[in-house]
Structure 1
């Protein structure tokens, strides 16, 4: 798969990184224009610093939405801490709102393989540490060996994040990510022994999903938005999902769907589960 290689540095002081979002600054900020030419524009400051959304993975939430709702923090923080440690940051200190106040060093060299930007202006990318072997600002063919040298693959292989795929990702890379996720699940690594996405999560209140059960972050976000509408029964959640209209394909069957209600079941009025594993779904960008 051809992606745009950009050399630069990761910077996290003053930001709130989580397990799939971190800030990056190209060596030449004008190279963001090369990403912008592919579609949506990357939002960056005057120094060229921009947020990355790490492609193909979704980490448990540390602070979602205006109310800063989180998933069980032992898993959310494990993904975030491993991301920062793998990139080369040490002695990371954070304030009560999880903003990084001090870190050693303040920047670490790295590179990204960019495929575009999302609706929030974050660059969608694979991320690597240290200097890359290629020239910055050029398209490179990304194969499985290169994929395995990214933090995206590392976090998935360690069982610290969920696979969450979008159509822009080449099928061969998606196949490798799927294999890494399944191996981690089979080995019982990271969050997988606690995951209830497909077995059924008991949801009696918002606290059920913030402090107790571990589920796919996309499903978590939809549940949070639904539960914050008021005292609505869980039985009505599929109807809400139909209205949200997430578009995706079930790869095992080839079925194209609109709305997560196609793969979500409610039982006993208190349990929600997905009928397909996360890696079997390929989403369309909003």
Structure 2
């Protein structure tokens, strides 16, 4: 496949008994073999009911359940996504996370994907409703994902409305990254969704409550590291020092600033900390994460 050529995979999103969040749902493909044909397809993890967890390409919604911690707007992002996909009257079990019932129980989707990421999730651009038919242009096994087509995706809608932050990887073409960035920039300028609460540039790490559901909202990819840091840090250890001492956490989020001469740098080099106050010294919209 070419750089912007994606495999077309049709199927259904399923909710009952699952724990969807703002940027991921379980998906039952009509033809599971198509997942195995993706780059790194041997990584894919299909459950007994035939479903697989998707990773929505280009976005990162506020966390709803990470190591027992959640973020502001996590439930809001999930509920907005489920409505956008076409689910109504979604009811949750006593835990507030597992879907007990939904109407309809499944919705048709078209997924465009090129690869499976390290955790076994197909990296997916998702189309629902009438846009699911548009994504099958030509009814062939593959389609060129143009900026115009991307703008009809659920992924683009989430960024445009501030339902999710951008999370851009090197596996996404530069032209498509620019399209998502432009949508995120517009949402930020109008302080939509996550941008109305965003505190990524400066936040407290006094304890988990400083960044959890009742605290401040920060970029979810950074939030996940902060939660682990707060539970594992040694006395007097800064977030940057902890990242250096925990190579998997630091190496996993190597980033490159999108300039002509930029080289990848680890996350810890973008942080400054005084006591319990952390400064994130770059613009989120300038970041691209190196895909592993």
Match of 1:102 in 2: 101
Match of 1:70 in 2: 70
Gapped regions of structure 1 (runs ≥ 5): none
**Distance in 1 between the 2:260 and 2:35 partners?**
38
Determine if contact 1:42/1:117 at 8 Å carries over to the other structure.
Answer: yes
Task: Give the alignment of 1:99-138 within 5 angstroms.
Answer: 99-130=98-129, 131-133=132-134, 134=136, 138=141
**Residue number among 42, 45, 48 corresponding to 1:43 in the alignment:** 45
Determine if contact 1:6/1:137 at 8 Å carries over to the other structure.
Answer: no
Corresponding position: 1:250 with 2:257:
yes
Task: Give the alignment of 1:5-16 within 5 angstroms.
Answer: 5-16=8-19
Gapped regions of structure 2 (runs ≥ 5): none
**If the length of structure 2 is used for normalisation, what is the TM-score?**
0.90
Match of 1:174 in 2: 177
Match of 2:86 in 1: 88
Match of 1:57 in 2: 59
**If the length of structure 1 is used for normalisation, what is the TM-score?**
0.91
Q: 1:31, CA displacement in angstroms?
A: 1.9
Secondary structure of the structure 2 residue equivalent to 1:20: coil
Query: CA 1:230/1:265 → structure 2, altered by over 3 Å: closer, same or farther?
Result: closer
Secondary structure of the structure 2 residue equivalent to 1:16: coil
Determine if contact 2:11/2:29 at 8 Å carries over to the other structure.
Answer: yes
**Distance in 1 between the 2:254 and 2:78 partners?**
28
**Residue number among 273, 276, 279 corresponding to 1:266 in the alignment:** 273
Secondary structure of the structure 1 residue equivalent to 2:21: coil
Determine if contact 2:43/2:119 at 8 Å carries over to the other structure.
Answer: no
Query: CA 1:165/1:232 → structure 2, altered by over 3 Å: closer, same or farther?
Result: farther
Query: CA 1:230/1:170 → structure 2, altered by over 3 Å: closer, same or farther?
Result: closer
Aligned pairs, number: 278
Deviation beyond 4 Å, 4+ runs, structure 1? 37-40
Determine if contact 1:58/1:162 at 8 Å carries over to the other structure.
Answer: yes
Q: 1:47, CA displacement in angstroms?
A: 4.3
**Distance in 2 between the 1:232 and 1:214 partners?**
25
**Distance in 1 between the 2:232 and 2:261 partners?**
33
Query: CA 1:4/1:205 → structure 2, altered by over 3 Å: closer, same or farther?
Result: same
**Distance in 2 between the 1:223 and 1:253 partners?**
30
**Distance in 1 between the 2:260 and 2:76 partners?**
34
Secondary structure of the structure 2 residue equivalent to 1:21: coil
Secondary structure of the structure 2 residue equivalent to 1:64: coil
Secondary structure of the structure 1 residue equivalent to 2:143: strand
**Distance in 1 between the 2:81 and 2:235 partners?**
37
Q: CA RMSD in A?
A: 1.8
Determine if contact 2:258/2:288 at 8 Å carries over to the other structure.
Answer: yes
